[in-house]
Amino acid sequence: MLERYIKFLNTKSIDRVLVFANTPSYIYKHLKQESTVINLLKHKRFDELIADFDELLRMQEKEQEHFILIYAILFAIINSDDPRKSGYLSSLPNNTGIRWLKELIKIHFTSYIGTNNFHIQT
Amino acid sequence: MAIITQTRRGNNIENEQDITEPTYGNRLEIEDLRSEYIGAIQRSNGYSSLYNCHGMTFASRRTGIYKLIEVNKILEEDNYCEVPLTEVLPGDVVLYYSISGDIEHSGIVIENKNHSGIRIPKILSKWGISFEMIHLVQNCPYYVGNIIKYYRNA
């Protein structure tokens, strides 16, 4: 499966976001805007993305490339216009073992809002 | 697991101790990425997900603070005030904001020398699941396109 995706993705850029993320919102903002993740929708159908995502979640032994792919496909799904998207994301279990997966989906459903509402008087 | 952590006003700060160990792949990638930041010095010895940058800056490395609304709560309820670069002192807090206003990173100022009229603070901060690093304020993964502000509470 990796070969079918890696050629489309900037894995270095995605991995960089995952390694340096301090919060789920950092991952959400940066991977939602990652150009190769956005372009993944040009190469993969929604059904295909879901099937591969489910397969990745089921894998017992995951290498770093698998984790990169999990987040890339997740954000391709999030960026998709498919009407089944919300139902699918809502149905994902809580105990996937994928760091911040639940939080990322929650951010998606609560309509990501920036935090620039905090101003301090100098 | 969350622990009891509170602001000065006594309100709880939502937090989480993440005990997930970085994978071997993570470690290789961290080593690779770290080499991009020449001059940045690794402070801590091990990898840790137990706390994040905000946990280091605001919670003494006891836990991670992952919600930006909680960081804003700390700034407000711990009486942080913004200070201009020329007045920044060791111990002040630095925050890296994205253009959209999100806080993406935090750290503690450890030096603010005047280099021929130019001030470039030196920062101690934790880089994601990577190490704590000592670095010049711009020499980190969070600087690109971001706005930097300094804060102090007394």
Residue B18 DSSP SS3: coil
- Please report which confidence band the pLDDT of residue B6 belongs to, taking 50, 70 and 90 as the band edges: very high
Give the gap in angstroms from C-alpha B100 to the nearest C-alpha of chain A. 6
- Comparing A102-111, B3-12, B72-81, the range with the smallest average pLDDT is A102-111
| B43 CB neighbour count, 10 Å cutoff | 14
Nearest alpha-carbon partner for A25 in A118, A119, A116, A108: A108
Answer whether residue A32 is part of any domain. yes
**Residue pairs between chains A and B whose CB atoms are closer than 8 Å:** 89
Answer whether residue A103 is part of any domain. yes
Distance, in Å, from the CA atom of B64 to the CA atom of B50, rounded to the nearest integer, reads 6
Domain that holds residue A42: 2-109
Residues of chain A with pLDDT below 70 are: 111-122
Write the single-letter amino acid at B20: T
| CA-atom Rg of chain A in angstroms | 15
Cα–Cα distances in angstroms (integers) from residue B60 to residues A1, A89, B105, B107, in the given order: 43, 35, 16, 12
DSSP state letter for B123: E
Distance, in Å, from the CA atom of A101 to the CA atom of A105, rounded to the nearest integer, reads 6
User: Are B13 and B94 in contact, with CB atoms under 8 Å apart?
Assistant: no
Judged by CB atoms closer than 8 Å, whether chains meet at A23 and B52 is answered as yes
Answer whether residue A119 is part of any domain. no
Judged by CB atoms closer than 8 Å, whether chains meet at A22 and B100 is answered as no
> Residue A56's pLDDT is what?
94
> Residue B45's pLDDT is what?
65
| A9 CB neighbour count, 10 Å cutoff | 22
> Residue B21's pLDDT is what?
77
Instruction: For residue range B127-152, list pLDDT tens digits in order.
Output: 998 889 999 999 999 987 779 999 99
Give the gap in angstroms from C-alpha B74 to the nearest C-alpha of chain A. 11
What pTM, to 2 d.p., does this model score?
Answer: 0.86
- Inform me whether the C-beta atom of residue A29 falls under 8 Å from chain B C-beta atoms: yes
Question: Hey, which residues 94-113 in chain A have their CB within 8 Å of chain B?
Answer: 99-100, 103
Answer whether residue A20 is part of any domain. yes
Please give the share of chain B, as a percent, with pLDDT higher than 70: 99
> Residue A120's pLDDT is what?
42
Secondary element (H or E) of residue B110: strand B103-111
Answer whether residue A77 is part of any domain. yes
**Mean pLDDT across B101-125:** 93
> Residue A111's pLDDT is what?
65
Answer whether residue A9 is part of any domain. yes
Cα–Cα distances in angstroms (integers) from residue B35 to residues A29, A90, B28, in the given order: 25, 40, 11
- Comparing A106-120, B75-89, B92-106, the range with the smallest average pLDDT is A106-120
Write out chain A residues lying below 8 Å of B71, CB-based: 115
| Closest A-chain CA to B84 | A122
Answer whether residue A120 is part of any domain. no
- Chain A interface disruption, residue of B21, B95, B100, most A CBs within 10 A: B100
Domain count, chain A: 1
**Mean pLDDT across B1-25:** 90
Domains of chain B: 24-152 (3.90.1720)
- Cβ neighbours of residue B122 under 8 Å, at least 6 residues apart? B109, B110, B111, B112, B113, B134, B135, B136, B137
Answer whether residue A50 is part of any domain. yes
Query: Alpha helices, DSSP H only, in chain B?
Result: 24-34, 53-59, 68-77
Judged by CB atoms closer than 8 Å, whether chains meet at B29 and A19 is answered as yes
